[in-house]
Structure 1
Amino acid sequence: MLQQMHEKGVRAEHMYLAGMASIAISFASWMLSKRFEKAGIERADRWGIFVGEWAPTFLALGNGLRMYEK
Structure 2
Amino acid sequence: MVVRLLHGAGLRSSHLHAMSLGSVALCLCLWIRAKTVDQHERGNAERRALFTGLWPPTLWLIGDSLREHE
| TM-score normalized by the length of structure 1 | 0.85
Aligned to 2:27: 26
Superposed displacement of residue 19, structure 1:
0.3
Overall identity of the aligned pairs, in %: 28
CA RMSD of aligned residues (A): 1.5
Per-residue Cα deviation, 1:14-67 (whole angstroms, up to 9, x for no partner): 0001000000000000111111242376x2442221101011110010000000
> What letter corresponds to residue 14 of structure 1 in structure 2?
H
> What letter corresponds to residue 66 of structure 2 in structure 1?
L
Cα distance in 1 for partners of 2:39, 2:48 equals 14
Residues paired across the two proteins, number: 68
Structure 1 stretches of 5 or more lacking a match?
A: none
| TM-score normalized by the length of structure 2 | 0.85
Aligned to 1:62: 63
Aligned to 1:49: 50
> What letter corresponds to residue 25 of structure 1 in structure 2?
L
Structure 2 stretches of 5 or more lacking a match?
A: none
Cα distance in 2 for partners of 1:59, 1:39 equals 34
